[in-house]
């Protein structure tokens, strides 16, 4: 069995990678809101924080009643309990990456978790 899983994502409006990549510690989704549209619901989480990266376009997020402008290159972390909803700008679509992980679960990262091997 290989130590990796690979998939290819097309142009769908929403793709969740949990099942496609057999993820065990996170949920990752790629999302596209056409110009002038929004996520059709407000939501929060019980345990999972979400990290959003704006890949293309512009729009806004409403978080606990506060409107936050978003543009390509922005990243935002939202606490589990925060009520959120995303909107694409009227003139452009909004493509974003959402990474969902259990809050306070990361104990090792980057260099502290790496095992450096020999290169050939």
Q: What is the mean pLDDT of each run of 10 residues along the chain (120 residues)?
A: 85 87 92 96 96 97 98 97 98 96 86 80
Buried b (16+ CB within 10 A) or exposed e, 17-55: beeeeeeeeeebbbbbbeeebbbeeeeebeebbbebebe
Provide the pLDDT for residue 117.
Answer: 84
Provide the pLDDT for residue 11.
Answer: 81
Residue spans of the domains in the chain: they are 14-39+46-104
The CATH number of domain 14-39+46-104 is 3.40.50.1980: no
Cα separation, 90 vs 35, whole angstroms: 5
Cα separation, 12 vs 32, whole angstroms: 7
Provide the pLDDT for residue 113.
Answer: 84
Provide the pLDDT for residue 13.
Answer: 87
User: CA nearest 91: which of 114, 115, 57, 65?
Assistant: 57
């Amino acid at each position: 069995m290989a130590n990796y899983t690979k998939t290819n994502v097309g142009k769908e409006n929403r793709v969740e990678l949990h099942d496609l990549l057999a993820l065990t510690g996170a949920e990752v989704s790629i999302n596209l809101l056409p110009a002038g549209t929004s996520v059709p619901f407000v939501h929060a989480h019980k345990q999972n924080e979400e990290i959003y990266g704006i890949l293309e376009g512009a729009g806004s997020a409403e978080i606990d009643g506060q409107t936050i402008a978003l543009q390509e290159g922005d990243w935002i972390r939202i606490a589990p309990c925060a009520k959120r909803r995303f909107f694409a700008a009227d003139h452009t679509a909004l493509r974003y990456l959402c990474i969902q992980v259990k809050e306070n679960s990361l104990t090792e990262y980057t260099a502290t978790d790496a095992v450096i091997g020999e290169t050939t």
